[in-house]
Structure 1
Amino acid sequence: MILRTGSALLALVIATPALAQVPSQGDLADLVRAQAAEIATLKARLDRLEGQQAVASAAAVPAERQPAAPQVAQNTPVTPPEARRTIPFAPQLVPPGPAERSVAQADAARTNPSGLTTEWGSGLPVFHSADGVYTFKPRGRILADVSTSFGSKSDTRNLTTTGMRALRLGLEGGVGTHFFYQMEADFSENEVDVVTAFMGWRDRIRPGLDYDVRAGHLFNDRGFEGSTGSDSTPFLERTTVATAIIPQRGFYGIGIMPRLFWKTGHASLTVTGDRVDGTQAVSDGRTVLGRVHWNPIKTADTVLHLGAWGFDESLSPAATVLTRNTVIGGRFNGGLRVSTGPLLGGTGTTGYGVEFGGYRGPVWLMAEAGRRNARLDAGRPDFTSKAWSLSGGFFITGDLPPYNPRLGSFGQPKVLRPTFDGGPGAIELTARYENLDYTDLVTGGEGWAGTLGVNWYLNSFTRFQLNAIHWNTDNRAGAVTGSDDGETVSARVAVTF
């Protein structure tokens, strides 16, 4: 710095002989200002170098000597503090993939100061291009079940079966902060079935208010468990509200879904046709579905959840059969169902439901109820279905329930002490009562089930589940009619990437 200042002074002397002996006050002031600017620049560079050395030193400290941060995924890029303050995401969940990130999370992944191009969060890596613009992640889930039923008055229901609840492969990714995509195919029935397949755009309206818009083959946003993925449900099968109060087209449809997010909730509106098929000779059905959830109480260990949803569906001329056979005691026993009996001549359906629950510490509770009116032709009155459920759980290991306040559903947990690191994992005890009523039809049945379960999460993406179910059915049509009850014991091993 001294040499640089001296050079400036010598140049001034050479250029202006009159000032060679006595520089003016103005010239000296200019030199002082130039010197101060150089000092400020050098200080800024020194601060940056010291910051990088501090990060490198922290990374070199053994894990046992670093401050504990059990709710942050290993090797996940550090999010800047200003971005963390704006991310409405629960720390007990694994970081979301590229297609489910908020605007702040997507932007933080691009501007991550660590310079990493790969991050590991839940089983498979997330790849980033060197400039942070492109993001890509493989996806997959393997859910293998075994089930045995006994105690029924009919041997056709006393079965022991195995099955793949899900066997999926897929991918997701993004370009920049705003564009994202996802696709998955399922092979669980030994055939290819396209499930989620969409592209989308996300942005911010103002601080604390974000939105995204998805277009493609979309999963319903409908109810608490109806909006929870099959790899995240607290029981082996969703409640009767999720499986019975549903559009006739099922859980998926091709269309568009705008979603709005604020700090304490979200709202969505979905307009779709039929699910992926090869039928183009007749018009698709049309389904309009909306949902809103709100967390009026939301603290570090306490959440209150309120939600409501509804849909209206106009059936395709090629899909007028409304017969339902709904799971009540386990998915993999085809003889154990609550049935409507044959029901033809449907023109549309309308359904709606409410959600109420939340968690405090390791304990969670959720109540759901729904009603579905099926419109029939030839002037016949609507057929009404009714269902409700009450579910709860307790993590005896002290982990928080994997509740996602952004979506109002369950997600993949971030286990505090994974078994692969020498810990016990996360152990959860669960209980549920559910009821289903199709008796508005002369041929319609009814049923209920009580379930006790235990979930053992080895880490954030591997778990074992065990459910013991006592069920009761009273069908008026089908192979087994009249009152019947029994037990089903089901188990699952699940890996989600």
Structure 2
Amino acid sequence: MTLFRTGCAALALIAATPALAQTPSDADLAALVRAQAAEIAALKSRLDRLENATAVAQASAPVAPVQVAPQAVAQNNEPRRTVPFAPQLAPPGPADRSVAQALAARDNPSGVTTEWGAGLPVFHSADGVYTFKPRGRILTDVSSSFGSKYDGRNITTTGMRALRLGLEGGVGTHFFYQFESDFSENEVDVVTAFVGWRNKIKPGLDYDVRAGHLFNDRGFEGSTGSDSTPFLERTTVATAIIPQRGFYGIGVMPRVFWKTGHASITVTGDRIDGTQTVGDSRTVLGRAHWNPIKSDTGVLHIGAWGFDESLSSVAGTLTRNTVIGGRFNGALRVSSGPLTGGTGTTGYGVELGGYRGPLWVMGEAGRRNARLDGGRPDFVSKAWSVSGGLFLTGDLPPYNPRLGSFGQPKVLKPTFDGGVGAIELTARYESLDYTDLLTGGEGWAATVGVNWYLNSFTRFQVNAIQWDTDNRSGTFTGNDSGQTLSARVGVTF
């Protein structure tokens, strides 16, 4: 400020003297420069004294905490993580979380975040209320059959086991939703589509209720998604002992969960269709599973399920042609022969198995009675299977103790992190019997396979199948046997 006043006074002096303003002398300019230099030196001295005093005061005073805006703190927090139902599983998405997991996401807001679980991220709003996740799966298969006495069965085919795209999410702790469409047959097919509500009954006991187009909770592999099955195709119990409407139906499914198991009941009509001129079929299905032994490295699984189905007037065809040596050889089936006039079906089954360390075993058996009109005897289907696997890399089987099924694995050493992934050897024997009908056939298959999980959402699978069929009707009758070699590459988001 003193320097500013000195400069202004000098300019005023020059302006007041016209002659000087026009042609200042050398002496005048030298005097002005000397005056300004003195003022600058004085100002620098004062600044030095002020800086020294400030430094001494800061050194002797206690350090005050730094105040940081909440948003900055949130951005520096550790990434949000959802704890899985078991350490060998990938974290569940918003629609599959328990009440405790949903509460943890709501009560720990950390700004707008993304949580990388398996494949694609889960997006969280800043307040923890909203969650959203894209979903999808790509399962590409190739299959070659040989050894049959029928040339029509010795074929090589390719196909998309699943080609899905969808989404899931939640609002707050209780409300959730999921939607998926499948394009594997080169047409749009709506599969899972529901809204749901979850809550606690008491500590250690909670429930959820789903309404919409629902996937069956029926048997161990029948309740396992196509992207998580240990073999390329589900067992004969899952594919043959099934409601006439198939794996899906529109309805409601309440489920109850406790620490060692779960139970569900499902009431549905038909799957999604365009027929509204006649009444739907009605299906009531229930299942429960229990883990009487449950530790960090082992589980004993016991399960039972059953369904009853009343068929509509336009759903009376009960003909079955069930896969036995792979999904993508349409000629390789066990056939019931033509069968019409069905009024309803009743089916039931049991499950027993578990795992200890990297080794797992599961046995399933089921029976289905299809009621026929005109006083004819029931069409009885019987199936059973025994399956097992061993992880050579020491990973635990991807058993989901909440649902009593297989899920997406959490690989110990993913290949994308420089590891070997998870390598699993599998084996299965399965049998299917339609011979209670005069036109019904029977068959069995023995499968050995290897699964290589690159990480939690990418896998390669190879199955070698020895199959045997004895059909009494259709194009390929009589006893026949052969081999099928199948492979799959799968990615699940």
TM-score (norm 2): 0.84
Partner of 1:419: 415
Q: Does the alignment pair 1:314 with 2:317?
A: no
The one-letter amino acid of 1:243's match is: T
Query: Which has the larger displacement, 123-132 or 225-234?
Result: 123-132
Partner of 1:145: 141
Equivalent of residue 232 in structure 1, options 228, 232, 235: 228
Question: How far does residue 447 in structure 1 lie from its aligned partner after superposition?
Answer: 0.1
Q: What's the CA shift string for 1:361-409, capped at 9, x where partnerless?
A: 0000000000000000001111110000000000000000000000000
Q: Does the alignment pair 1:485 with 2:491?
A: no
Partner of 1:185: 181
Q: 1:123 aligns to what SS in structure 2?
A: coil
Query: What 5-or-longer segments of structure 1 have no aligned partner?
Result: 1-44, 60-74
Q: Does the alignment pair 1:388 with 2:379?
A: no
Q: Conserved in 2, the CA contact under 8 Å of 1:234 and 1:430?
A: yes
Q: Conserved in 1, the CA contact under 8 Å of 2:229 and 2:406?
A: yes
Which runs of structure 2 are paired with 1:8-27 in the superposition (5 Å)?
none
Equivalent of residue 274 in structure 2, options 275, 278, 281: 278
Output the CA distance in 2 between the equivalents of 1:113 and 1:100.
20
Q: Does the alignment pair 1:198 with 2:194?
A: yes
Output the CA distance in 2 between the equivalents of 1:153 and 1:359.
40
Q: What's the CA shift string for 1:452-474, capped at 9, x where partnerless?
A: 00000000000000000000000
Cα distance change, pair 300–93 in 1 and its aligned pair in 2 (3 A): same
Q: Conserved in 1, the CA contact under 8 Å of 2:233 and 2:326?
A: yes
Output the CA distance in 2 between the equivalents of 1:107 and 1:286.
36
Question: How far does residue 78 in structure 1 lie from its aligned partner after superposition?
Answer: 4.5
Q: Conserved in 2, the CA contact under 8 Å of 1:154 and 1:480?
A: yes
Q: Conserved in 2, the CA contact under 8 Å of 1:78 and 1:114?
A: no
Partner of 1:473: 469
Partner of 1:363: 359
Larger Rg: 2
Q: Does the alignment pair 1:128 with 2:104?
A: no
Partner of 1:339: 335
Question: How far does residue 58 in structure 1 lie from its aligned partner after superposition?
Answer: 10
Question: How far does residue 115 in structure 1 lie from its aligned partner after superposition?
Answer: 4.3
Output the CA distance in 2 between the equivalents of 1:53 and 1:313.
57
> Percent identity among equivalent residues?
81
Q: Conserved in 2, the CA contact under 8 Å of 1:474 and 1:482?
A: yes
Partner of 2:265: 269
Q: What's the CA shift string for 1:281-318, capped at 9, x where partnerless?
A: 10000000000000000000010000000000000100
Q: What's the CA shift string for 1:102-160, capped at 9, x where partnerless?
A: 00001111223654611101110101111111110000000000000000000000000
Q: Does the alignment pair 1:303 with 2:308?
A: no
Partner of 2:215: 219
Q: Conserved in 1, the CA contact under 8 Å of 2:81 and 2:115?
A: no
Equivalent of residue 443 in structure 2, options 437, 444, 447: 447
Q: 2:198 aligns to what SS in structure 1?
A: strand
Partner of 1:35: none
Cα distance change, pair 190–78 in 1 and its aligned pair in 2 (3 A): closer
The one-letter amino acid of 1:133's match is: V
Q: Number of aligned residue pairs: give it.
A: 428
Output the CA distance in 2 between the equivalents of 1:90 and 1:444.
43
Cα distance change, pair 272–413 in 1 and its aligned pair in 2 (3 A): same
The one-letter amino acid of 1:146's match is: V
